[in-house]
Amino acid sequence: DIQLTQSPSFLSASVGDRVTITCRASQGINNYLDWYQQKPGKAPKLLIYTASTLESGVPSRFSGSASGTEFTLTISSLQPEDFATYYCQQLKTYPLTFGGGTKVEIK
């Protein structure tokens, strides 16, 4: 199975901060990597697919990039509504797998 290691698992940040979350795959996944945002008690919401394509309706402060087996989600200027947990997911091979999540909290 392909393992996805997210870091950090928790981060504390302020409104306006630039935030970077990393997801490292245990083997090559050809950019078949998506990012989701989840708020407490709610379903996940797709933010980025295929490593860097912004889902329709998602603010442009969210961006994704890839370098080999390392993937990055960046929030350029953190907004109050962005405090949530973020997950990466690989869709290269079954079983599809998620990273462990990164919880972004208010400093």
Partner 1 sequence: EVQLVESGGGLVQPGGSLRLSCAASGFTFSRSWMSWVRQAPGKGLEWVANIKEDGGDNYYVDSVKGRFTISRDNAKNSLFLQMNSLRAEDTAVYYCARYVRSHPHYYMDIWGEGTTVTVSS
**Interface with partner 1 (CB under 8 A):** 30-32, 34, 36, 38, 42-46, 49-50, 53, 55, 87, 89, 91, 94-101
Q: How far is the CB of 16 from partner 1 (least distance, A)?
A: 28
User: How is residue 77 annotated by DSSP?
Assistant: S
CB 63, min distance to partner 1, A: 16
CA distance 72 to 88: 9
List CB contacts of 54: < 8 A, sequence separation 6 or more. 47, 48, 60, 62, 63, 64
71 vs 87, which CB is nearer to partner 1? 87
Provide CB contacts within 8 A for 83, sequence distance 6+.
104, 105, 106
Here the tokens at position 77 are 């200027």
- Which one, 17 or 93, has the nearer CB to partner 1? 93
**Closest CB 31 distance from partner 1, rounded Å:** 8
Q: Residue 102 Cβ, how far from partner 1 at the closest point, in Å?
A: 10
